[in-house]
Amino acid sequence: MNTTTENPQPSTTKPVRILVAEDSPLNQQVALKQLEKLGYAADAAGDGDQAVAAHARKPYDIILMDCQMPGISGYEATWQIRNREQEKAGTADAGKRVYIIAMTANTQADNREKCTAAGMDGFINKPVQLAELEAALLHALADQAAAKELDAVIDPVIIAGLHQLRTPGKPDPVAELIDLFLREAPAQLDTMSDAVAKNDFTSLSRTLSAATALKGSASNLGARNLAALCAEIEMTAKTWILSDTPPLIERAREEFSRVRTALQRIRGG
Amino acid sequence: MNEPKPFDPAAIERLLKLGGPKFTLEMIDLFGSYGGKKIAEARSAQQAGQLAALAEAAHPLKSSAGNVGAVRVQELAAQVELSAREQKAEMAGAQLDDLEHAFAEAKIFLDAERKRLAPSPG
């Protein structure tokens, strides 16, 4: 049975797609009214199954998820949503990661560690207060904006693919690759700069091999722009136009700085 | 030490500020019907010795009661839920008696609020 309430979004509301998953009709109505007051239109789902089904139909930006609901719980619903996002990563059907805010009563059975383990991103106490809700939404939107910036530097599909290589009990391959990359990339950039300054045949060959190596490792981690710059450096070295190389190396250094920040964020999160 | 107040009138004021009298009346009515249903489910579960179902029935009462300021109902629903989850059947049963009583009192309080907020006929 599908009893998700989908509310049309009036033109005056903020363009954020929100789903409220809450079994208590009273809490659900209060949450919808609070969202309306804050300028957001939202849909509602009455249990975990409905929340999972609604997420499959519509690319929500944020889900406000009650933890304990009849049928499948908010934890289980979140786990299913995260699994589906993971399965779709890298396919044409891949959507963006929905930000899930747990609405928690913060009791023994309803705790924040469980929320995080299930894949939830934020928390809000019940009964939900307007100011707390607004703060949680602003935090979610800021996180999503930061994620968008990060996506422009590192291809999230590549990272999702690498995460799938993880084996229980073994070190995280993403963390290992990031550490290796962050150790080697500065030296490769220095090699290019030093070699170009000398401007002879040996230098050319060293520039070429450093650019090729950095292009490969950047591609492996989804650092598209950096890989593209390395490909350009490779090209200039292959065609003996080393005079064009220093500005490219400078741009590669600047891009590496953005990549490093993004990778450190991925590694930390 | 003073006993905590059974009701928090500020919650009704928050609902009024949020959605006006019509919305507040709807929420009061919803608490009456939904809360009554959950109390009945809790009692059936308790009588059948189904402690998981008792906890599940008490859980949504907790935050729903908080939204209308039924503080005592909120506290007792939390206690029933906890005792049921900890398999303390006897304690949960006694707390459910108190919860039923508190719910009846909350309805009296909310009926008074209802009268205050409802437009007078004519």
Q: Which of A20, A22, A23, A24 best tests the B interface by mutation, with the highest count of B CBs <10 A?
A: A24
Residues A26-65 have pLDDT tens digits of 999 999 999 999 999 999 999 999 999 999 999 999 999 9
Q: Do B67 and A30 touch (CB under 8 A)?
A: yes
From residue B6, alpha-carbon distances to A154, B9, B111 in Å are 55, 10, 15
The verdict on residue B1 lying in a domain is no
Query: What is the average per-residue pLDDT within A156-164?
Result: 77
Burial of A35 (0-12, 13-18, 19+ CB in 10 A): buried
pLDDT score, position B8 = 93
Measured CA to CA, the distance from residue B8 to residue A110 in angstroms comes to: 24
The verdict on residue B94 lying in a domain is yes
How close A125 comes to chain B (CA, Å)? 9
pLDDT score, position A12 = 66
**Contact residues on chain B for A26, CB-CB shorter than 8 A:** 27, 30-31, 34, 64, 67-68
The CATH number that applies at residue B29 is: 1.20.120
Measured CA to CA, the distance from residue B106 to residue B66 in angstroms comes to: 11
**Contact residues on chain A for B62, CB-CB shorter than 8 A:** 105, 126
Residues A87-144 have pLDDT tens digits of 876 666 667 789 999 998 766 555 778 888 888 999 898 889 999 999 999 999 988 8
Bridging pattern class, strands A62-66 and A42-45: unpaired
Q: Which domain holds residue B62?
A: 19-115
Selecting from 1.20.120.160, 3.40.50.620, 3.90.79.10, 3.40.50.720, what CATH number does the domain A163-268 have?
1.20.120.160
A250 Rama sector, left if φ>0, alpha if ψ -120 to 50, beta otherwise: alpha
Q: What is the ipTM of this complex?
A: 0.92
pTM: 0.73
Rounded mean pLDDT of chain B? Answer: 93
Residues B22-76 have pLDDT tens digits of 999 999 999 999 999 999 999 999 999 999 999 999 999 998 999 999 999 999 9
The verdict on residue B10 lying in a domain is no
> Is the peptide bond between A127 and the residue preceding it cis, with omega within 30 degrees of 0?
yes
Q: Could you tell me if B10 and B69 are in contact, meaning their C-beta atoms sit under 8 angstroms apart?
A: yes
Instruction: For residue A129, give the nearest of A37, A41, A22 by alpha carbon.
Output: A37
The CATH classification number of A18-153 equals 3.40.50.2300
Q: Which residues contact B105 (CB under 8 A, 6 or more apart)?
A: B6, B72
